[in-house]
Amino acid sequence: MQITGNRSFPAASVSQYPASCAMKAVPVGTVEKPLFVPIMDARLLGMPVQTGSKSIVVAGADNWG
């Protein structure tokens, strides 16, 4: 299954270190990022099947919080 997520970044000032200590303004941004979720039969893991859930939690998925 492929889910397309949106990462949004706030405006910020970023240091240009080590070239200089000048600050560079970075505008607000949004990036689309695909997330691939493998689908497995829960019976393979001996786990109960949860129906009706609308949330998917993936820990450590490319720094998504």
Angle, vertex CA 58, rays to CA 55 and CA 62, nearest 5: 135
For residue 2, being part of any structural domain is answered with yes
| Full pLDDT tens readout for the chain, 65 residues | 888 888 888 999 988 888 788 899 989 989 888 888 887 776 666 655 556 666 555 555 565 54
The pLDDT assigned to 56 comes to 56
Domain count, the chain: 1
Phi, psi torsion values for 44, nearest 5 degrees: -65, -30
Q: Can you say whether the dihedral through the CA atoms of 7, 35, 42, 53 is positive or negative?
A: positive
Distance separating the N- and C-terminal Cα atoms of the chain? 20
For residue 14, being part of any structural domain is answered with yes
The pLDDT assigned to 65 comes to 46
The pLDDT assigned to 11 comes to 92
CA distance 44 to 42: 5
For residue 26, being part of any structural domain is answered with yes
The pLDDT assigned to 1 comes to 81
